[in-house]
Amino acid sequence: MSDHHAHYLAGKGSTGKTIMSWVWTYDHKKIGVMYLVAVLMMFFLGGLAALGVRAELFEPHYTEFVNDDGQVVADTKGYKGAGSDFVVPEGTTPEQRGVMFPNITVTTVETNPDTGERTEGTKTVTGNNIYNRAFTLHGTIMVFLFIIPAVPAALGNIFLPIMLGAKDVAFPKLNLWSWYIYLFGGMFAIFALIQGGVETGWTFYTPYSSTTEWGNVTAMVLAAFILGFSSIFTGMNFIVTVHKLRVPGMGWFDMPLFIWALYATSIIQVLATPVLGITLLMVVFERTFLIGIFDPALGGDAVLFQHFFWFYSHPAVYIMILPGFGIISEIIAVHCRKRIFGYRAIAFSSIAIAAISFLVWAHHMFTSQSPVANVVFSALTFLVAIPTAIKVFNWISTMYKSSIAWTTPMLYACFFLFCFTIGGLTGPPLATLAVDIHLHDTYFVVAHFHYVMMGGTVLAFVGGLHHWWPKFTGKVYNETWATVGGWIVFLGFNLTFFIQFFLGTQGMPRRYATYPTDIPAFEIMHKISTVGSWLLLLGFLIHLFVFLHSLLAGKKAARNPWGGLTLEWETETPPLEHNFEREPVMTHGPYDYDTARPVNADPALFPMPTDTPKAH
């Protein structure tokens, strides 16, 4: 049997050969699948850290005063200020309560540099410190190891060449490099984690990150630096592939919108990531060689780091969300069987967002920079909101007079529209100077970016995973249980994060391990949020089991189960090693549902309008 006609998941005769066919593969689909497995593992690891964070906040810390007999004499839970009759009872020991992460004592060994004598001592790591590591772990893993590669490197890798009608990406070897660099960077991150983790927050703000005595910052920063190369390589590969490898007959405006989104994303990845790389290297130099760049004690400037960091990390927000936009465009068009409304507006708004995203970085610094700069960046920030709003209108308009299949991907598209619209609409309060001063660095911001990143990208990613699952695995998943899982995720997500907007307006700062005991609203809202996080866990576990069940016991999937018109539905399921039997011919645009009949699909399931003119 010729390799070219086997589907890409087929074994190679022996286990060893099959494994080697993955390890040294240049096949974009295999690389994409390996990426997918890795990012899903990272998602669960980062999610566990988030559950720990939520558990810690279930109730505030308080102090109990215990006498010599071990009896609790008083506590500070009901403490109401200096006017109350609360006094610390004589002869009692205060003990910290209400903490999920207790203080732990670790053994230290110190070596006297003169004599080489080693002395053992002990040192206490506070529960706060462990909480701080947990949220840093959550942020770092979710940003650098999950959400940035999730859509482009996993789903994008699998489908970008197929949707363009190409055999592979332009540089298959670079693609494999990108994967191994990701793996190497991920190992650095895991190493930093095993060594005890990092507690700087994923933003690594100086001078805290350049002076903190809790180590591993260098390892974690290097991990992010290495992962940046992986991201750049994927971006370069996609740009060249889109320019050079479109099947003959496919013009720029015949490309699926997922490709447009990945193209815009790739531009940002290539242009912005080097800035982060060099910034992180500077932090390493400052920590290691005491070169004063960001630390005022060494003659540096602390705010400079924030400029450099956000010059990458704000565009990075669009690296995370634009591919999500692309997925939603695909899902809505296919499952509504409708030409997407305002195709060019969506395509151009992706490019516009990519361009403007480079001009808004300093809105992360409204409380740290000059008021004049604030005005400029406030205005620029509102500019980026306009193309984003246009996309939402286009998606909802596409549903008008369409034929909507109630499938899991479409359900997720609706969840996306719901959550992302909330995420988008809570942007303007943060862009408005007078209001942002109050909301900056509070839970309002936490809720806002989780609605965009999780309610946006993650929901789109899970939707896209269901949309393309039958195609790239060749297996059908259980629609009922996927729907159940989807609803639980949706409810859990909103329960967790919606209340956080109000925590923010109430003034609860972010990254807090505890909060005052005498503000009842804080405690109630945090409890609600924590319960929501448990629902989220349940929902994602259901999805995991649905996918595992599908792989192990799922029925063989049809070639075009949704009746899609883009090229990936024309090939075999799962796709052939070189994607297509022969080069596909463009007979219709990606969304010509009014005029073109889907191939490989039952015409009875996907009828055409009765007055359909013949395909041109």
Partner 1 sequence: MTLSTMSSSLATNAWDALWFRENGSAYAGEYNSIYYFIFWASAAFFVVLMVLMVWFMLRYKRRPGVAAEVSASHNTPLEIAWSVIPAIGFAIMFFWGTWAYLPKAVVPEGAETINVTAQQWQWKFEYPNGATSLQTEWISDMEQPLFAIPAGRPVKFLLSSTDVIHSFYIPEFRIKRDCFPNRYTVCWAEAKEPTHWFDPADGLAKPYDKNDDGKFTDGEQGYYLYCAEYCGDQHSQMTHRIAVLAEPDYQAWLEKQNNTDGVPLLDLGAKLYKTGGCAACHSVQPGGVGTGPSWHGIWGTARPGYQPLNADENAGAVVDEQYIRTSIIEPQSYYAPGFQGVQMSQYAGVFTDRELRAIATYIQSLSDDPAAVEKAKQKSDAEAAAQAASDAGAAEGAADESDPEVPAEPGA
User: Within 582-601, which residues bind partner 1 (CB under 8 A)?
Assistant: 591, 593-594
- 115 binding partner 1? (CB under 8 A): no
Closest CA to 595 of 339, 324, 334, 289: 339
Binding partner 1 (rule: CB under 8 A), the pick from 72, 278, 386, 544 is 386
**What is the torsional sign of CA 185, 186, 192, 198?**
positive
In the complex, what is the shortest distance from the CB of residue 220 to partner 1, in angstroms, rounded to a whole number? Answer: 15
Of residues 508 through 547, those in contact with partner 1 by CB under 8 A are 509-521, 523-525
Q: Which is nearer to partner 1, 197 or 474 (CB)?
A: 197
Map tokens 């300093």 to a residue.
Answer: 362
In 3D space, the residue among 413, 525, 423, 537 whose CA is nearest the CA of residue 466 turns out to be 413
Q: Is 343 in the site for partner 1 (CB under 8 A)?
A: yes
Q: How far is the CB of 306 from partner 1 (least distance, A)?
A: 9
The HSE-up count of residue 512 (CA atoms within 13 Å, CB side) is 21
Site size toward partner 1 (CB under 8 A) is: 132
DSSP 3-state of 474: coil
Contact with partner 1 (CB under 8 A): which of 18, 368, 487, 600? 368
By C-beta, is 132 or 483 nearer to partner 1?
132
- With CB under 8 A as the contact rule, the residue among 82, 90, 251, 289 that binds partner 1 is 82
Considering only 9, 284, 385, 484, the residue that binds partner 1 (CB under 8 A) is 385
Considering only residues 309 to 338 of the shown chain, the ones binding partner 1 according to CB under 8 A are 336-338
Q: Is 81 in the site for partner 1 (CB under 8 A)?
A: yes
Q: Which residue has the tokens 């279930």?
A: 58
Q: Is 76 in the site for partner 1 (CB under 8 A)?
A: yes
Give the chain's radius of gyration (CA, Å).
Answer: 26
Distances (CA, A) of 68 to 63, 74, 103, 111: 16, 13, 21, 38
Q: To the nearest whole angstrom, how small is the minimum distance from the Cβ of residue 347 to partner 1?
A: 13
Cβ atoms of 262 and 152 within 8 Å: the answer is yes
Least distance between partner 1 and beta carbon 535 (Å): 20
Specify the residue, 6 or 392, whose C-beta has the smaller distance to partner 1: 392
Residue 226 phi, psi (nearest 5): -65, -45
Residue recorded with tokens 């996993």: 154
Residue from 71, 195, 367, 480 that binds partner 1 (CB under 8 A)?
367
Binding pattern for the stretch 195-224 against partner 1, x by CB under 8 A and - elsewhere = ----xxx---x-xx--xxx-----------
Dist CA 425 CA 430 (whole Å): 10
What's the DSSP call for residue 558?
P
Spatial CB neighbours of 84, under 8 Å, sequence gap ≥ 6: none
Query: Is 480 a residue that touches partner 1 (CB under 8 A)?
Result: no
d(CA 123, CA 107): 6
Window 283-312: residues binding partner 1 (CB under 8 A)? 296-297, 302-303
Per DSSP, what are the bridge partners of residue 442? Answer: 509
The yes or no reply on residue 72 touching partner 1 (CB under 8 A) is: no
